Structure 1
Amino acid sequence: MNRSFLALLSLLIFSWGCTPSSEVETVQTHFDFNKNWEFVKDMDTTITPSLFDLASSNLNWKSIRLPHTANIEPLVIEDQQWQGDSFYRKFFRVEPEHEGKHLSLKFEGAMHEAWVYLNGKQVGYHAGGYLPFVVDITDQVSIGGENTLLVRLNNEDNPEIPPGKPMATLDFNYYGGIYRDVYLVAKDPLHISDPIAANRKAAGGVYVWYEDVLSGEAKVNVQIDVENGRATKEDDVRLSLVLSNAEGKSVGSTVSDLSIPAESNRIHTEKIAVKNPELWSPDHPYLYTLTAQLYDGTKLIDSWQQRIGIRTFGFDEENQFTLNGERLYLRGTNRHQDYPYIGYALSNEAQYRDAYKTKEAGFNFIRIAHYPPDPAFLEAADELGLLFMDAIPGWQFYQDGIFAERALNDVRTMIRRDRNHPSIVFWEASLNESGMPDSFMDQAHSAVKEELPYGQNYTSGWRDYAYDIFIPARQHSRPPGYWSGYEKDKPLFIAEYGDWEYYAHNAGFNQTAFEDLTEDERNSRQLRGFGQKRLAQQALNFQEAHNSNLKGPSFGDANWVMYDYNRGYADNLEASGISDIFRIPKFTFYFYQSQGDKNLDEAEAEFNGPMAYIANYWNDPDYTTVKVYSNAEEVALILNGEEIARQGPDTDRISSELKHPPFTFELDEFTPGTLRAEAYIGEEVVASDERITPKEPAQIEMAVDLSGKKIQSGENDVVFVYAHITDSDGNTVWDADQEVEFTLEGEGELIGQNPIQAEAGIATVLFRAGEQAGKVVIRAAAEGLEVGSIELKVE
């Protein structure tokens, strides 16, 4: 009884979390289905009646909440992580108020082969871990009675499921579990269809596109696919559309009367004119809210709501990208979605924090690697102002037959899920670095055009063949010119750079054949613990590569990669991230931050404000090169109160094309004390940074990474908690490597290696919030140091 009551309670108190609130009336149709699951792995997968019976089951079920990973992994995954079979089970009730409704379950992501059973009967099957699927349970669910949902998952290598490549040679991990949200969807049989369940070309759900954006009166075109599952007669309904601005005020609306025959669907299109629209861009990510309401007589029976952004984009006569009529260079990065320990099982808040840090690093673009992201990440990109290249799952693998069919289906599913996001401008309908035949590329390119028939439907691929945009990696060409000599009449975007060409001396892109071709000290794969000289080398590599990219015809580039990540086939981390796996920035992070489109008029700007960063810990007598990253005009370097020099930015070979070259100071000798950089615009100091030579380790000071989102209870929200080993004055001791142990007081749990050795003066643990709001205290202790503590507020 308690189990069923909790499941019912979760349904009653939750409203569709991925849509914005608005004063426009809506009806709740999507209910949180993440709580009160049970999990077991490595068991006999024979489906028996006992699996559906709480009293008779003899498996060792563990109570869990979604999102969930099938296995907590070590920090560094050697060879490959856990792969195998697991079961997820949930007991739930559907109350009599849902009698007669169309009922389904929507899974946003489950890795990667799923069999779904309800009350002993199989009701669904899905292959593919990165895109959603919908299971109709209308005819199998018991209304008012106890129901048992069972999901069997398998995440073993499978050449028929993209990405297809076996884990032993794949350069990233696909983890197990139901790692994204699940919803119970309860709708009137007459309803706005789901784009995934409808499975219709350029249809299903709501599809939005724009015209006359720059005319002063933009046209917002809205196509709605209404489905009548009633079996008896044609129904007359009223369809209302309301477009609200960011303040919740209506700026346009329509009302239409429709007749829809029983057991059929109707696609209807309306147009809303918006005078003097606020246009969405990375510098001004203005979002409207579009609401569709479906009435049967005077009764509101269904609604749909999403934030949208009015914008137009394309390419000029020189194949340069334009947004809202103006050229915009796309300065981007790649991002893998995994966290340490928990794999893909990130909360929506954690997804937002990853996007926030990407924006904070000065980027305006993300080329996702190498699969569609969580919907919450795209919502964050919309809100923060990050342009986006969406991609189907795939990397260095192709196979005719079922694999190819599923990859082509992924193209359509990805677009149907993501087509209304203002952040998305390109569709990577390509299996990255894979030997795709021309026929596959032709079909993938055509699929995008079919799903998005009203223009602004740019495809991209790593092969210079069928796609609208050519997106090679820098290392796919050769030094010294790389892609600067590209002459074809096609937009060029350098989709990866800064890692492999420095790691393998441009020896092609076979990840396993050239592992030992370069010295550790000069490549871009540098952990924070390798020290400041090697971090400076990584930053220099990325600077050189980015400067080279700017010499050619490309309209943008994306570095490899935003965060360090586990590689699946190797016994070390892929460490070319500009931040480490715990999201702690390296020197390279600040190089890119200095390249941002500076907003010098607002000293307190959340992003792209005036900045200065000293890429030197000032703790090594043998390292007296001081590089300062800044977007200012001049930088003065001051040591112990005395100005050493004030100078302009570098003018060397690898700085010639940069928007804001760094400032390099060569000091004759090392003098301990306070090193300060002051950045000038004219005669005004607009930013500064400081390093103080640390003394001996004395204490621990703690911090938490919130990155624009408070910690949420009841969501499996996770945040990084950092323990800085400092001297008695609070200066981080950058070479400290003591073992640190974390303890928790309050609800929640600490996840990860604990105790853990500090890396470059910082030890990190992952905190997962519990079900209840309140305060928790986390402490960190190390031998011989004063204990540190931090109080966290869980909302």
Structure 2
Amino acid sequence: MKHHFFIISCLMLLCICSAGYAYSPREVINLNREWKYMRGDCRGAEQTGYDDSGWERIGLPHSFSIPYFMSRDFYTGYGWYRKHVAFTEKNLSGKIFMEFDGVFQEAEIFVNGKFVDRHRGGYTGFSVDITEAAQVGDNLIAVRVNNLWQPTLAPRGGEHVFSGGIYRNVRLVLKSSTYIDWYGTFVTTSGLDTSNGGYGIVNVSTEVRHSGNDTDNFRLVSNVLSPDGRIIASAEKEIEMKCNTAQTVRQTMEKIENPCLWHPSHPVLYKLESLLFKGDKLIDRDETSFGFRWFEWTKDHGFFLNGEHLYFKGVNVHQDQAGWGDAVTDAAARRDVALVKEAGFDMIRGSHYPHSPAFAKACDEEGVLFWSEAPFWATAGEKKDGYWTASAYPVRQEDCDAFEENVLQQLEEMIRIHRNHPSIIAWSMCNEPFFTTPETMDGVRKLLKRMVDYTHLLDPTRPAGIGGAQRPLGEERIDLIGDIVGYNGDGATILDFQQPPIPSMVTEYGSTNADRPGEYIPGWGDLEKNDAWKGVEWRSGQAIWCGFDHGSLFGEGMAKLGIIDYFRIPKRSWYWYRNVYAGVNPPVWSVSGTPAKLRLEASRYTDIKADGTDDVHLTVTVLDEEGRELSNSPDVKLTLISGPGEFPTGGSILFEAGSDIRIMDGKAAIAFRSYYAGESVIEATSPGLEPARIKLTFTGAPAYKEGVTPKVADRPYVPFSLQKKGKIQSFGLNNPAFASSAADGHSTGYAADGKFDTWWEPESSDQNVYWTLDTERSLMLSEVSIRFASTDRYQYKVEVSEDNKNWMLVSDKTGNKNPVGSDKIKPEKTVKMHYLRLSFPQTGKYVTPKLAEVEILGQLD
């Protein structure tokens, strides 16, 4: 069975004019600059007369947690944002919208003291019509944001952090009273199969809204522009619209012979120009980027792009970065995609939520396939409402309907915003939603089915995937609900999921914990067995967990699994992949020596936009007298000497070995941004070493004036702490499990599925019997509980490890002569662990183990 999905691609490129039209009646204004912010819930802050003189001056994107450096805890509560804008009578003659690319996670918008709208969902953008609340002259925009855990908001759980804030771009969009709607253009292409002669047909659906007082006639012209800007196809349609109505206009253009196809090795993009006329007057214009290409997922032979087989090599990517947390610029998102591409990877899984429009745009332009995921997921840990380890699906009946509607709302927003990107090859419904209370699994399955059906309705050109579907086992499997499936961790090796009846991929493999520099090795982890990392004929591809270190609720044990560190400096494993995948030899590794000086470099030096969409990545390196890079890591300070700009900590930042703001292996890095134009001088210093300076030029904003422009306030880094005592929690249920072998019908996961009537059992020919559990956490072990499917004279030993390499013996029962049905083991002293292993030596008294369930009790380290 084959699934053919002829794809789309397009992204709104704001206020850019084509060769055919020198202007656009639509005005798009970046609103990232000059906001006031206060953490906490400030009563009356939406009112025009409220005194915000004591609030912090900030720019967007912004997070409650800035400066943030990968700590486990984060502030949860409210934050307020205020900004003044001016409107003319002409502005008020049309429609005025505010467009948000992302606010975590509930936003209430006020204009001039009036409540305008609310949005619930932290990873998808939204548009707010503020026309009725706006006035001529000064206008106050106030946004009340909270990141409180809510039982009816997705996600209800996860392992990353959930910092609040307006952490993506905000725009003001001025339109006429009749206009093309927000992300209202949907471009699809067909006819690309080379067996048909290699032509392309562009199909366009455009949503037009008319808010005028009368029925009127309009004309929609759609032009396809080639990569060099020529009009190569057009369509035109007359439309009649009644007052306060919306209409979807469908157009199909003539064949385009031999279009250049989008592919990771040649990511060619076209544009669609949408022109809305009333008579001969142009009243709205929009531009959409898209690409010609087609693909198919197959269950037997993997993935095909433009008719050619492609076993894609991917990474999982979280969005947050050092200092700024989730509040990264478009340029920072682009750098992440570029680092992935540089190492030879050609696919990204957007774990585990919709990423920014800028991120998807970067995938289009850099040439990286993209798996876009809805925020329905959870994680291991205590399943209680009130915190982010809660059950994936609500445990209270009264929360279910509202939760499902919120999931479907965010799914629809994700598809609407991203549906035109050629890089996107799948919509994923979830990640590991089986981390839910057992009684809610029926709800999980029904919701996934609703999501799949809704995805087919919203976008019939792409498959609906079930991500992280390696549990549950048995009759309750969820992996076959969608069109395609992704398995995480041990799902790559569990027999139940080998060559499934639908197309599949490994959505997560690896999980190698390392500080930079780390080892020059790959992180195959789960794919190492039988060299599965080289690819399997029926499998479409694989994605390593993970691309970048990220903030995690569970601390460093989960946070440092990337091949690139949190400061966006590659670890040695990244260089291994770059060597094997891209054919680039690794550099000479730095060694210890006598530090003499510093080198300071920037990702760019000139024409850096000062509007919150752009920034630069600064890297400082310790050198010896001859300029060789050293691994010595003395304290290094970066200071803004003159001009505009800011570090996440304000006007300077100090890197220290062993701190959260770290220098390691002789290198430190951070992103630097500005909201004013001008030349910035930054100096790197370290006691006893020759300093280094660079100059950066920012543009596109009011000029910085020394002594006049407000100085950026210092933001000292103080890790947020909930100051709660460690709680004993249960781990093991549905965590990844691995074994030396597994007999038919007795997969490794059956020993960690919460059921006593299923069990793991090795193959009879296995000569080195063991079973391993990955808790995916760094724990202080309190107790190991073991239950067998039957009582027998089992002989075994229990060991724990932090790295899956070096093991510590906790209990030795290899000399046991008594019948055992269950066992509880408590270590004599505090033991730190991440992995647990049970080994069953084959002595003369060997009894084949039938391991029904393993539970670990412990505190998060």
Smaller-chain TM-score range? Answer: 0.7 to 0.9
Superposed counterparts of 1:367-446, under 5 Å: 367-396=349-378, 397-399=392-394, 400-434=400-434, 435=436, 437-446=444-453
Determine which of 639, 642, 646 is the counterpart of 1:743. Answer: 639
Shift of 1:118: 1.5
Determine which of 663, 669, 672 is the counterpart of 1:764. Answer: 669
Q: Distance in 2 between matches of 1:484 and 1:573?
A: 27
Residues 59/781 of structure 1: CA separation in 2 closer, same or farther (3 Å cut): closer
Residue matched to 1:269: 250
Shift of 1:716: 6.0
User: Is the aligned partner of 1:788 residue 2:692?
Assistant: yes
User: Is the aligned partner of 1:73 residue 2:54?
Assistant: no
Look up the equivalent residue of 1:33 and give its one-letter code. Answer: L
Residues 470/65 of structure 1: CA separation in 2 closer, same or farther (3 Å cut): same
Residues 2-44 of structure 1 show CA distances to partners (whole Å, capped at 9, x for unaligned) of xxxxxxxxxxxxxx86465521323323322222221111244
Residues 465/709 of structure 1: CA separation in 2 closer, same or farther (3 Å cut): farther
User: Does the CA contact (< 8 Å) of 1:525 and 1:576 recur in 2?
Assistant: yes
Residue matched to 1:722: 619
Determine which of 599, 617, 631 is the counterpart of 2:589. Answer: 617
Residues 484/724 of structure 1: CA separation in 2 closer, same or farther (3 Å cut): farther
Residues 65/361 of structure 1: CA separation in 2 closer, same or farther (3 Å cut): same
Q: Distance in 1 between matches of 2:459 and 2:524?
A: 41
User: Is the aligned partner of 1:63 residue 2:57?
Assistant: yes
Residue matched to 1:52: 47
Task: Give the stretch that moved more between structures: 392-401 or 298-307.
Answer: 392-401
Look up the equivalent residue of 1:784 and give its one-letter code. Answer: G
Residues 642-664 of structure 1 show CA distances to partners (whole Å, capped at 9, x for unaligned) of xxxxxxxxxxxxxxxxxxxxxxx
User: Does the CA contact (< 8 Å) of 1:76 and 1:572 recur in 2?
Assistant: no
User: Does the CA contact (< 8 Å) of 1:769 and 1:794 recur in 2?
Assistant: yes
User: Is the aligned partner of 1:779 residue 2:679?
Assistant: no
Residue matched to 2:79: 86
Aligned to 1:378, what secondary structure does the other structure show?
Answer: helix
Shift of 1:568: 2.5
Q: Distance in 2 between matches of 1:612 and 1:755?
A: 29
Look up the equivalent residue of 1:251 and give its one-letter code. Answer: I
Residue matched to 1:474: 489
Look up the equivalent residue of 1:82 and give its one-letter code. Answer: Y
User: Is the aligned partner of 1:448 residue 2:455?
Assistant: yes
User: Does the CA contact (< 8 Å) of 1:426 and 1:460 recur in 2?
Assistant: no
Q: Distance in 2 between matches of 1:484 and 1:583?
A: 38
Shift of 1:265: 2.1
Q: Distance in 1 between matches of 2:142 and 2:274?
A: 34
Structure number with higher relative contact order (C-alpha < 8 Å, ≥ 6 residues apart)? 2
Q: Structure 1 unaligned runs (5+)?
A: 1-15, 196-204, 500-523, 597-607, 620-693
Shift of 1:486: 0.9
Q: Distance in 1 between matches of 2:68 and 2:131?
A: 41
User: Is the aligned partner of 1:208 residue 2:187?
Assistant: yes
Q: Distance in 1 between matches of 2:516 and 2:359?
A: 26
Residue matched to 1:171: 159
Q: Distance in 2 between matches of 1:485 and 1:771?
A: 55
Residues 279-313 of structure 1 show CA distances to partners (whole Å, capped at 9, x for unaligned) of 11111100011111000011100111011101111
Q: Distance in 2 between matches of 1:595 and 1:722?
A: 26
Residues 207/564 of structure 1: CA separation in 2 closer, same or farther (3 Å cut): same
TM-score by length of 1: 0.76
Residues 588-647 of structure 1 show CA distances to partners (whole Å, capped at 9, x for unaligned) of 112222343xxxxxxxxxxx4x52115x7375xxxxxxxxxxxxxxxxxxxxxxxxxxxx
Aligned to 2:132, what secondary structure does the other structure show?
Answer: coil
Superposed counterparts of 1:26-45, under 5 Å: 26-44=24-42
Runs of 4+ in structure 1 over 6 Å off: none
User: Is the aligned partner of 1:700 residue 2:598?
Assistant: yes
Residue matched to 2:239: 258
Determine which of 480, 499, 502 is the counterpart of 1:465. Answer: 480
Residue matched to 1:249: 230
Aligned to 2:403, what secondary structure does the other structure show?
Answer: helix
Shift of 1:358: 1.3
Superposed counterparts of 1:302-313, under 5 Å: 302-313=284-295
Q: Distance in 2 between matches of 1:383 and 1:711?
A: 19
Q: Distance in 2 between matches of 1:709 and 1:787?
A: 22
Q: Distance in 1 between matches of 2:635 and 2:590?
A: 24
Shift of 1:538: 5.8
Residue matched to 1:754: 654
When the two chains are superposed, the root-mean-square deviation of aligned CA atoms in Å is 2.4
Residues 672-691 of structure 1 show CA distances to partners (whole Å, capped at 9, x for unaligned) of xxxxxxxxxxxxxxxxxxxx
Q: Distance in 1 between matches of 2:563 and 2:133?
A: 50
Aligned to 2:82, what secondary structure does the other structure show?
Answer: strand
Aligned to 2:598, what secondary structure does the other structure show?
Answer: strand
Q: Structure 2 unaligned runs (5+)?
A: 1-11, 379-391, 395-399, 470-477, 658-662, 700-861
Aligned to 2:420, what secondary structure does the other structure show?
Answer: coil
User: Does the CA contact (< 8 Å) of 2:376 and 2:429 recur in 1?
Assistant: no
Look up the equivalent residue of 1:321 and give its one-letter code. Answer: F
Shift of 1:580: 0.7
Q: Distance in 2 between matches of 1:345 and 1:128?
A: 16
Look up the equivalent residue of 2:599 and give its one-letter code. Answer: E
Residue matched to 2:610: 713
Look up the equivalent residue of 1:114 and give its one-letter code. Answer: A
Residues 71/574 of structure 1: CA separation in 2 closer, same or farther (3 Å cut): closer
Aligned to 1:440, what secondary structure does the other structure show?
Answer: helix
User: Does the CA contact (< 8 Å) of 1:370 and 1:432 recur in 2?
Assistant: no
User: Does the CA contact (< 8 Å) of 2:545 and 2:562 recur in 1?
Assistant: yes
Q: Distance in 2 between matches of 1:760 and 1:540?
A: 24
Aligned to 1:759, what secondary structure does the other structure show?
Answer: coil
Shift of 1:766: 3.3
Residue matched to 1:576: 561
Shift of 1:325: 0.9
Residues 275/730 of structure 1: CA separation in 2 closer, same or farther (3 Å cut): same
Aligned to 2:250, what secondary structure does the other structure show?
Answer: strand
Shift of 1:352: 1.2
Task: Give the stretch that moved more between structures: 309-318 or 429-438.
Answer: 429-438
Residues 403/346 of structure 1: CA separation in 2 closer, same or farther (3 Å cut): same
User: Is the aligned partner of 1:279 residue 2:258?
Assistant: no
Shift of 1:471: 0.3
Q: Distance in 1 between matches of 2:404 and 2:299?
A: 35
Task: Give the stretch that moved more between structures: 156-165 or 368-377.
Answer: 156-165
Residues 418-441 of structure 1 show CA distances to partners (whole Å, capped at 9, x for unaligned) of 111111110001243434522111
Residues 122/618 of structure 1: CA separation in 2 closer, same or farther (3 Å cut): closer
TM-score by length of 2: 0.71
Residues 365-418 of structure 1 show CA distances to partners (whole Å, capped at 9, x for unaligned) of 111111101101111111111111101113322223322221122111111111
Look up the equivalent residue of 2:548 and give its one-letter code. Answer: Y
Among the aligned pairs, what percent are the same residue?
29
Residues 571/587 of structure 1: CA separation in 2 closer, same or farther (3 Å cut): closer
User: Is the aligned partner of 1:140 residue 2:133?
Assistant: yes
Residues 263/383 of structure 1: CA separation in 2 closer, same or farther (3 Å cut): same
User: Does the CA contact (< 8 Å) of 1:398 and 1:431 recur in 2?
Assistant: no
Shift of 1:485: 6.9
Shift of 1:190: 1.5
Aligned to 1:490, what secondary structure does the other structure show?
Answer: coil
Residues 699/563 of structure 1: CA separation in 2 closer, same or farther (3 Å cut): same
Residues 247/268 of structure 1: CA separation in 2 closer, same or farther (3 Å cut): same
User: Does the CA contact (< 8 Å) of 2:104 and 2:165 recur in 1?
Assistant: yes
Q: Distance in 2 between matches of 1:335 and 1:164?
A: 20
Residues 21/384 of structure 1: CA separation in 2 closer, same or farther (3 Å cut): farther
Shift of 1:764: 2.6
Determine which of 148, 152, 160 is the counterpart of 2:152. Answer: 160
Look up the equivalent residue of 2:26 and give its one-letter code. Answer: Q
Q: Distance in 1 between matches of 2:117 and 2:544?
A: 40
Task: Give the stretch that moved more between structures: 537-546 or 275-284.
Answer: 537-546
Superposed counterparts of 1:507-522, under 5 Å: none
Task: Give the stretch that moved more between structures: 534-543 or 222-231.
Answer: 534-543
Shift of 1:106: 1.4
